[in-house]
């Protein structure tokens, strides 16, 4: 199943490509030495779970389309598990295969010399750093550094450095992608730079550039590049070395969890585990009730071969039930006390066992951490995983919602390093129950004084790297239980979806109007460029940078070009197109007239979709108000609210909530992400509208929002205010409240005093009424006419 890129992802990959173009066309581009210009460097800083692999794959495809020869991509990772996972995603049928459709994908160790020489076919090779990380290549211990006696062409690493066939005028571009750049060592860097790459893309939240790579970056800085993250406008690239994605974007897109909750327990292991398992079981039930499509999972992070009692070495020469090693004690508690099937539990650590004299139970699944073990473990779909922080990179299961961390007896385990394991959001969407949108941590500590320090360290990490993820902490288990408020009664709202039926015919007409470039040779060609350095030998002069015009640049499929553009504007529109039309098979050069026309066609298709799509009610599967998470100590109690109270209301919101409560009608505070939402029919990164409040009156639901005034002058805002069912009835009425007095004619504020209520008349006009008090405004907002 392939995935569709989100607007923030296509924006990031386009920014990387445009910055690459900025460097390769810069006459001031520095040189490493004769024939090798300083490579383009870009670090991608983004949250775990935000789609770094997809962004980098799309960026590689975009850069390929601008290059004069078909490139080679060397995609490397520290972990074999990550490499295998990436290969599975890239090979035909994989979820990212369509992003790199012009590339042949394979493993570096299996590549043929002829493939490296063939500059007419883009090539993507995957490898672990261990497959080439050898200090002395002359030792010949690694295959890539061994000379192939049969082909007599030299070592693979050397051929990759040359990457051109005999007699070819230029070597192929080389793009190096390292998706765990924080692990990059000096030796690995030196070996990579021996290949003289043209591009280095590093997925890392930190700007760590060891050894010679740091020198490369410094040379780029000397010609105006810097490492202060900056977001570019499309078509106006900056000389920035980092593409940083705001945490808000993957959070709002549902790719990562909405909040992190830490609980500190200075008590015995069993009490901590009991609380987590109870919450785990509740989450399992709620996932089933909501047809969430996943079963929650939990991880247990602890030390391995020590005694849980006193921290001394645990003796493996004892019967299994006499052992005191934490992994064994956790396993026994889950199986014997909580009734969890042993088949759902995996122990993944270097636990010492004497299987001959003191064997473990036959259903005790122990994985020691070998590469084959990881593959077997991954296929097991275990729901409870016990490990000692050495679980291989590559295991980042979105279904993981719970983590037990044992920091007792002075354990050096770092809570902040485990957060990424639990951050991804299952199903890439937030659910109505906040428990399924939360990363829940249960931390066993020696004393309560230790917990505030842990909480502060995590808070600093959250503030620096993911400020849009909420963080809560508690040291009393009762506070955690009190924080979850079930609804006082069942309240439902009709769901609203996009009805694109009226767009089908106009879209078909628009597609017919797209020119067929399959037989249009002149317009599909564009001017390519080859940048090279010419160095006079022996006179000590600086190299002369020359840009040579070539007849062609690499070609891309029309379908890829149009669909990618549509996804960057409004992803839902791309899903309505019949991409089987033969005209989408045309291959065009990225700098051609045809390519620009096809991008314009994509823009028109999006405009056509948005102009004819409407919002419609669903008569089945209504939204059901679920539990709310609060902070009991600061929660305000209400009389008529759907929950006992709320704690996340700011000043203006609290004022509105009090006035709504005073009307006597049932109402709820609607949470962002996981709450009730309505699709927004406009281009941009905001895909859904979450009203702040929902009020039930006279068999209608009023969606009140005191912050939605910015939508008033957009077509999306008009459609929000005009939602009607097939009988012309308004079942959900959207009302915007804005501060001050406003003019109907100019839609501008005329006075800062009072409040205005915005609605749409039966004639389709947006009108406001001005009120001297918030009470009057709320009362007016809850009127149907």
| CA dihedral sign of residues 328, 334, 336, 337 | positive
Does pLDDT of 695 surpass 90?
yes
Give the residue carrying structure tokens 């020489």: 117
Does pLDDT of 668 surpass 90?
yes
Q: Are the beta carbons of 461 and 416 closer than 8 angstroms?
A: yes
| CA dihedral sign of residues 226, 230, 231, 235 | negative
In this predicted structure, which of 132-136, 335-339, 439-443 has the lowest mean pLDDT?
Answer: 132-136
* Greater pLDDT, 487 or 686: 487
CA–CA separation, 202 vs 181, rounded Å? 5
- Which CA distances in Å does 344 have to 331, 359, 399? 11, 20, 14
CA–CA separation, 690 vs 679, rounded Å? 9
- Percent of the chain past pLDDT 70, that is, above it, reads 90
Does pLDDT of 537 surpass 50?
no
Average pLDDT across the chain, whole number? 87
Q: pLDDT grade, residue 358 (50/70/90)?
A: very high
- Which CA distances in Å does 402 have to 24, 278, 387, 731? 47, 11, 14, 39
> pLDDT of 497-507, one tens digit each?
999 999 999 99
Q: Are the beta carbons of 692 and 725 closer than 8 angstroms?
A: no
> pLDDT of 402-420, one tens digit each?
999 998 756 666 787 788 8
- SS3 assignment, position 157: helix
Structure tokens at 129: 């750093």
Q: pLDDT grade, residue 536 (50/70/90)?
A: very low
* Greater pLDDT, 585 or 729: 585
- Which CA distances in Å does 134 have to 177, 185, 710? 19, 12, 58
CA–CA separation, 95 vs 4, rounded Å? 9
Report the pLDDT value the prediction gives residue 409, as an integer from 0 to 100: 59
In this predicted structure, which of 15-19, 220-224, 308-312 has the lowest mean pLDDT?
Answer: 308-312
CA–CA separation, 10 vs 683, rounded Å? 14
CA–CA separation, 234 vs 441, rounded Å? 40
Q: Measuring CA to CA, which residue among 562, 634, 637, 644 is closest to residue 602?
A: 562
CA–CA separation, 510 vs 512, rounded Å? 5
- Which CA distances in Å does 160 have to 38, 86, 164, 194, 421? 18, 21, 8, 10, 35
Report the pLDDT value the prediction gives residue 639, as an integer from 0 to 100: 97
Q: List the Cα angle 141/145/147 in 5-degree steps.
A: 100
> pLDDT of 541-570, one tens digit each?
555 555 555 556 778 899 999 999 999 999
Report the pLDDT value the prediction gives residue 339, as an integer from 0 to 100: 96
> pLDDT of 590-605, one tens digit each?
888 888 999 999 999 9
Report the pLDDT value the prediction gives residue 391, as an integer from 0 to 100: 67
> pLDDT of 155-179, one tens digit each?
888 899 899 888 888 899 999 999 7
Rounded to an integer, the average pLDDT of 26-52 is 89
Rounded to an integer, the average pLDDT of 214-226 is 92
CA–CA separation, 218 vs 229, rounded Å? 16
- Label residue 139 exposed, middle or buried (CB < 10 Å: 0-12, 13-18, 19+): exposed
In this predicted structure, which of 8-12, 317-321, 472-476, 732-736 has the lowest mean pLDDT?
Answer: 472-476
Helices 593-612 and 504-512: crossing angle, nearest 10°? Answer: 170
Whether the predicted model's global pTM rises above the 0.75 cut: yes
Report the pLDDT value the prediction gives residue 160, as an integer from 0 to 100: 92
**Residue 167 backbone phi and psi in degrees, to 5:** 90, -10
Q: pLDDT grade, residue 538 (50/70/90)?
A: very low
Report the pLDDT value the prediction gives residue 276, as an integer from 0 to 100: 96
CA–CA separation, 465 vs 497, rounded Å? 34
CA–CA separation, 143 vs 664, rounded Å? 76
Give the residue carrying structure tokens 């924006």: 11
Give me the long-range contacts of 369-374 (CB less than 8 A, separation at least 24). Answer: 371/80, 371/81, 373/348, 374/80, 374/81
Q: Measuring CA to CA, which residue among 433, 394, 389 is closest to residue 296?
A: 433
Q: pLDDT grade, residue 32 (50/70/90)?
A: confident
CA–CA separation, 28 vs 23, rounded Å? 8
> pLDDT of 477-492, one tens digit each?
888 888 899 999 999 9
In this predicted structure, which of 184-198, 277-291, 401-415 has the lowest mean pLDDT?
Answer: 401-415
Range ranked top by mean pLDDT from 438-452, 541-555, 703-717: 438-452
């Amino acid at each position: 199943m392939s995935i569709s890129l989100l607007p923030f992802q296509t924006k990031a990959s386009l920014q990387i490509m445009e910055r690459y173009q900025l460097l390769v066309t810069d006459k001031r581009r520095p040189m490493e030495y004769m024939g090798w210009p300083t490579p383009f460097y870009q670090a991608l800083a983004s949250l775990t779970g935000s789609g770094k692999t997809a962004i980098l794959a799309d960026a590689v495809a975009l850069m390929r389309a601008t290059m004069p020869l078909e490139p080679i991509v060397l995609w490397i990772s520290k972990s074999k598990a990550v490499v295998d996972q990436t290969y599975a995603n890239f090979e035909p049928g994989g979820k990212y295969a369509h992003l790199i459709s012009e590339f042949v994908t394979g493993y570096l160790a299996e590549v043929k010399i002829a493939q490296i020489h063939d500059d007419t076919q883009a090539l993507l090779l995957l490898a672990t750093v261990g497959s080439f990380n050898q200090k002395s290549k002359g030792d010949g211990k690694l295959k890539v550094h061994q000379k192939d006696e049969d082909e007599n062409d030299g070592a693979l690493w050397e051929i990759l450095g040359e990457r051109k066939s005999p007699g070819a005028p230029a070597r192929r571009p080389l793009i190096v992608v390292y998706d765990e750049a924080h692990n990059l060592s000096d030796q690995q860097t030196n070996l990579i730079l021996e290949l003289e790459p043209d591009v280095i893309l590093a997925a890392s939240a930190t700007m760590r550039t060891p050894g010679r790579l740091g020198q490369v970056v410094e040379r780029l800085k000397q010609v105006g590049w810097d490492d202060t993250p900056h977001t570019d406008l499309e078509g106006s690239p900056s000389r920035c070395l980092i593409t940083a994605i705001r945490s808000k974007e993957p959070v709002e897109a549902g790719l990562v969890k909405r909040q992190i909750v830490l609980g500190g327990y200075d008590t015995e292991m069993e009490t901590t585990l009991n609380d987590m398992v109870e919450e785990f079981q509740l989450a399992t039930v709620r996932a089933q009730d909501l047809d969430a499509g996943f079963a929650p999972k939990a991880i247990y992070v602890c030390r391995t071969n020590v005694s849980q009692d006193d921290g001394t070495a645990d003796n493996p020469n004892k019967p299994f039930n006499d052992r005191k090693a934490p992994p064994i004690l956790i396993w026994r508690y889950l199986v014997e006390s909580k009734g969890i099937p042993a088949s759902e539990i995996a122990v993944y650590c270097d636990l010492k066992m004497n299987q001959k004299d003191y064997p473990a139970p036959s259903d005790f699944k122990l994985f020691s951490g070998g590469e084959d073990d990881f593959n077997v473990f991954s296929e097991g779909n275990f729901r409870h995983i016990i490990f000692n922080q050495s679980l291989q990179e590559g295991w980042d299961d979105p279904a993981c919602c719970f983590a037990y961390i044992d920091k007792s007896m002075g354990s050096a385990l770092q809570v902040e390093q485990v957060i990424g394991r639990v951050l991804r959001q299952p199903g890439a969407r937030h659910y109505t129950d906040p428990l399924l949108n939360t990363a829940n941590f249960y931390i066993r500590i020696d004393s309560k004084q230790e917990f505030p320090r842990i909480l502060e360290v995590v808070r600093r990490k959250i503030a620096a790297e993911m400020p849009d993820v909420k963080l809560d902490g508690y040291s009393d288990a009762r506070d955690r239980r009190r924080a979850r408020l079930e609804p006082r009664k069942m309240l439902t709202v009709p769901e609203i979806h996009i009805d694109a039926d009226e767009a089908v015919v106009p879209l078909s007409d628009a597609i017919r109007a797209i020119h067929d470039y399959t037989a249009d040779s002149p317009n599909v060609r564009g001017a390519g460029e080859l940048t090279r350095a010419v160095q006079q030998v022996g006179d000590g002069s600086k190299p002369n940078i020359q840009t040579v015009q070539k007849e062609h640049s690499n070609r891309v499929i029309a379908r890829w070009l149009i669909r990618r553009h549509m996804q960057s504007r409004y992803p839902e529109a791309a899903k309505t197109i019949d991409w089987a039309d033969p005209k989408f098979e045309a291959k065009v050069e990225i700098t051609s007239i045809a390519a620009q026309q096809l991008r314009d066609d994509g823009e028109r298709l999006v405009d056509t979709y948005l102009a004819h799509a409407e919002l419609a009610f669903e008569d089945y599967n209504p939204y059901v108000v679920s539990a709310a998470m609060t902070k009991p100590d600061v929660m305000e109690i209400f009389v008529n609210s759907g929950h006992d109270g709320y704690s996340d209301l700011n000043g203006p919101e609290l004022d509105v909530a009090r006035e709504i409560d005073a009307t006597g009608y049932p109402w709820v505070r609607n949470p962002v992400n996981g709450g009730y939402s309505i699709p927004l029919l406009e281009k941009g990164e905001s895909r859904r509208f979450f009203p702040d409040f929902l009020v039930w009156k006279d068999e209608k639901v009023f969606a009140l929002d005191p912050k939605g005034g910015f939508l008033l002058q957009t077509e999306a805002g008009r459609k929000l205010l005009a939602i009607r069912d097939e009988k012309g009835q308004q079942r959900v009425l959207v009302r915007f409240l804005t501060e001050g007095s406003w003019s109907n004619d100019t839609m501008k504020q005329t006075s800062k005093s009072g409040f205005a209520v915005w609605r749409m008349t039966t004639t389709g006009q947006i009108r406001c009424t001005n009120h001297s008090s918030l009470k009057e405004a709320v009362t007016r907002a809850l009127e149907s006419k």
